[in-house]
Chains A and B, each alone.
Chain A
Amino acid sequence: MASDSTSPLRAGGVGKTGITRLMPFSTGLHALLLKLGLSSRNCVILVPYIWLTLFFLVPFFIVLKISFAYMTIAQPPFTHFSETGHLSLNISDSYGRLISDRLYIDSYLNAIKMAAISTVLCLLLGYPMAYGMARAKPSTRNILLMLVILPFWTSFLIRVYAWIGLLKNNGVINNILMAVGVINEPLHMMNTNFAVYLGILYSYLPFMILPLYANLEKMDLSLLEAAADLGCKPLKAFFVITVRLSLPGIVAGAMLVFIPAVGEYVIPELLGGPSTQMIGRTLYNEFFSNRDWPTASAVAIAILILLVVPLAIFQRYQDKQMEAAE
């Protein structure tokens, strides 16, 4: 067997002449890189590593630095350490404003509240959907999965826009309800907190369903049969076994919804009213309308501090998932 089976594999190296022609160049380059202590393995690690360090990690430290600067009327609108000649840590200015001005605290707390409630809403609707999908026939399952993923591929902005047409005073929902005769006056839904909840639920629902589905699909159903054999009622078995076992999926889905929802800008801006203050919107306006970059930076740092724990939970879930797959 050995002599027979090696020949087709050898035939795989047909392009040998081309490779040998490139040999002097590639070995030269390789030797140079090796001299610098860079094997090809290290290069593969270093390229994305350096990219992410430079464009993802380092920027946070710059935000931290600028949050301690003074606001000036200049371009860019903040002072530099180099200009004053000494490191003037300016804690009272931007951070003081965060604490003293009700706007920041209110929008900060409001964002946490609205993101948390939206996460619960996503779970309440997403769990039964993921459950139903995971228990469907395998052929139906793939179609349903595609239907959940499909909206994710279409524009987020457009999907939020679609709700304006539905929720407006002379929008589709009000028109239908009034035509049927359920209501006489249009319901005021647009530019309310209700609209924002609906928008977040709608936009983030797939993020809740997908990890839940992945978890529920893998579940060992014989556990439920065993519980039934032992006299456990289906509803009790559902909460004691199914929900318990799907806890990692619930946590992952909750983090995927909660973390980005806290900093949401587009949904409160388009669907919410002027009183719907969420911290992401406050940051955006602080930056673009008031051009107060140090305060905007301080707001960003405050959001990051809030998100440290959820981010760590999310990261731990990712690592666990990797281990499980290996």
Chain B
Amino acid sequence: MHRQSWFILLLLTLGFVFLYAPIVSLVIFSFNSSKLVTVWGGFSTKWYGALVQDQQILDAAMFSLRIAAISATLATILGVMAGYVLVRFHKFRGRATFSGMVTAPLVMPEVITGISLLLLFISMEQLIGWPQGRGLTTIIIAHTTFTMSYSAVVMRSRFLTLDISLEEAAMDLGAKPSKVFFVITLPIVAPAVISSWLLCFTISLDDLVITSFTNGPGTTTLPQVIFSKVRLGLDPKVNALATIIISIVAVGVIISSFYMRHKERQRQRDEQMAIRAASQMA
């Protein structure tokens, strides 16, 4: 048993080195003064300065942030509904199709989702004249569609572990189902809603392939700019940009995981107090 755990520990360490070495190297070389990205020429922050002055990158970043915020909001609303339906409504016509449509976009190759959405938009434009051309609207629809699956999966697992007795109590006291949902259910699952929104936001912000299919000629998103730069070779500005993105994400994930754990402990304490109070009253 001992020899086995030593082997596992070695592989675990190697695995994490493998996962993080490229990221660490990316961050280190963003502070490289040499234009040859992988040859160290001394410490410098000049690429960050160059990044801030690159209007093309800034415009693309603003465009991407706008798309991500809108589509994450839409996707989360739809995802909450879809997750709720999957957990609470067991019998309705077409349930199997519904659950298939909710989970399939998670694994569907992006080139397929991309081409099919583009052909849909073009057919719709020919039929009903909407959407006119491609750009913000079509990208938002595309991103909402494939990120809502992520949201639905997050919400589904949250609703599965949700104690139904509180809702039943409210129902017994005469609250309408819609009121129960907004006053009781939604506040309880709020942390999951937030993390679902953040997940959809980052996935949308990162998408290249589906965006390439559904974007028009007039606009470019941040991944499209990065991709066109990367295709030409290494670019220290991309390293600087990557470092900024990684820092924001790392700080965000660490803070939110501590916050979630804190909330979870608080909730457990509250529940225990409630149980104790109830047993004393009885």
Contacts and interface: CB of A to CB of B under 8 A. Distances in A.
B201 to A, nearest CB: 10
A170 B38 contact: yes
B242 A161 contact: yes
Given A165-B26, A168-B234, A41 B89 contact: yes
Q: Interface residues of B: mostly helix, strand, loop or mixed?
A: helix
14 contacts: A47-B81, A51-B144, A80-B126, A128-B7, A128-B15, A135-B5, A144-B12, A161-B230, A202-B19, A259-B107, A259-B108, A269-B231, A287-B213, A311-B104
Nearest to B146: A56
Interface string A51-90: 1110111111011001000000000100010000000000
B246 to A, nearest CB: 5
Contacts of B253: 146, 149-150, 153
A269 B121 CA distance: 26
User: What interface size band does chain B fall in?
Assistant: 35 or more
Nearest to B116: A59
A303 B19 contact: no
A270 B141 CA distance: 27
B82 interface: yes
Given A48-B148, A148-B19, A154-B246, A314 B107 contact: yes
A128 B8 contact: yes
Contacts of B212: 284, 288
A266 B11 CA distance: 28
B52 interface: no
A9 interface: yes
A170 B38 CA distance: 7
Interface in A246-260: 255-256, 259-260
A49 B89 CA distance: 13
Given A9-B169, A52-B101, A157-B206, A162 B242 contact: yes
B238 interface: yes
B117 A55 contact: yes
B12 A132 contact: yes
A266 B92 contact: no
B69 interface: no
Interface string A132-145: 11010000001010
A148 B84 CA distance: 28
B123 interface: yes
A75 to B, nearest CB: 10
B8 A135 contact: yes
A252 B11 CA distance: 22
